[in-house]
């Protein structure tokens, strides 16, 4: 995708002022530090025109990183996450909503919609895209980030481990860009372009860390990572934050070829 705003993103994670902030907030979740820094820098560089909807907003931390000026609205299925987002105060309004059902907004309300690492977890993603198209203004844009199909083609932990990962952290859609382009067209959107982030080696590290560490937080499995985190908690969290900054600093955000993450840019014609 040849758009000038992409060049505004830092070349490496270590060039990002967000890396220290995320390492501080997630010292015991290194995969989040790695991938959210890349995603936040790309979306922070994107031309986001208000009014803006944060689709699947979560606890609001990511929104505060990419747009400190705030979002006009945010919605999420998790009431717990919405409570945390309300305390953060980055959204002017928040709504409890299933994005695959009718959203509580009028047609053409928003000039921009941002959705970070969420639509791949929505089972009826076609309905979600159709709703996004409905509440988007003509000429408005939808920015979507998530793991690309390459993240699973490059999976480093074996097929059984990937099946377990997709079970305890359901990912219903890990498709190629052509499939997403067809979905966008069906929903009434045009695919303006896409950008891959995090090359193969970085993606393999990301998926290895996410598989092992996320299992600790999402399941009761007795994993090596569970005992490792118990040990990590005995030491200052600042030590782990420093370690992730050092280890991730040289990782390129935009690889020369395909990447394990993809930013899709869709537009309502």
pLDDT in tens, 192-217: 999 999 999 999 999 999 998 887 76
Total domains in the fold of the chain: 1
> How far apart are the C-alpha atoms of 90 and 62, rounded to whole Å?
10
In the prediction, which pLDDT does 221 show? 67
Q: How far is CA 199 from CA 7, 10, 159, 186, in A?
A: 17, 15, 21, 30
> How far apart are the C-alpha atoms of 249 and 238, rounded to whole Å?
16
Answer yes or no: is pLDDT of 186 > 80: yes
- Per DSSP, the three-state class of 122 is coil
Q: What is the CA radius of gyration of the chain?
A: 18
β pairing state of 110-116 and 190-197:
unpaired
CATH at residue 128: 3.40.50.150
The residue segments making up the domain with residue 49 are: 4-267
Average pLDDT over residues 160-175: 89
> How far apart are the C-alpha atoms of 148 and 174, rounded to whole Å?
6
Whose tokens are 């040289």? That residue is: 250
In the prediction, which pLDDT does 135 show? 98
In the chain, the largest separation of any two C-alpha atoms, in whole Å, equals 54
pLDDT in tens, 24-50: 999 999 999 999 999 999 999 999 999
Whose tokens are 């891959």? That residue is: 196
């Amino acid at each position: 995708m040849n758009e000038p705003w992409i060049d505004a993103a830092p070349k490496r994670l270590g060039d990002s002022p967000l890396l220290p902030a995320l390492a501080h907030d997630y010292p015991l979740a290194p995969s989040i530090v790695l991938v959210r820094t890349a995603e936040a820098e790309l979306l922070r560089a994107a031309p986001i025109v208000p009014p803006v909807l944060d689709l699947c907003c979560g606890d609001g931390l990511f929104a505060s990183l990419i747009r400190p000026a705030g979002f006009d609205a945010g919605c999420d299925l998790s009431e717990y996450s919405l409570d945390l987002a309300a305390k953060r105060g980055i959204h002017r309004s928040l709504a409890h909503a299933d994005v695959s059902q009718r959203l509580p907004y009028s047609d053409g309300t928003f000039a921009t919609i941002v959705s970070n690492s969420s639509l791949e977890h929505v089972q009826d993603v076609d309905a979600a895209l159709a709703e996004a198209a409905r509440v988007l203004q003509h000429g408005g844009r939808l920015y979507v980030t998530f793991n690309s199909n390459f993240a699973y083609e490059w999976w480093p932990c074996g097929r059984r481990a990937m099946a377990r990962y997709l079970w305890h952290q359901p990912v219903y859609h890990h498709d190629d860009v052509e499939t997403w382009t067809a979905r966008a067209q069906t929903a009434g959107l045009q695919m303006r372009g896409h950008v891959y982030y995090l090359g193969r080696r970085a993606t393999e590290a990301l998926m290895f860390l996410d598989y092992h560490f996320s299992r600790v937080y999402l399941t009761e499995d007795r994993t090596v990572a569970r005992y490792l985190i118990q040990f990590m908690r005995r030491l200052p969290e600042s030590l782990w934050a420093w370690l992730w900054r050092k280890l991730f600093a040289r990782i390129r955000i935009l690889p020369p070829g395909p990447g394990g993450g993809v930013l899709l840019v869709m537009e309502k014609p």
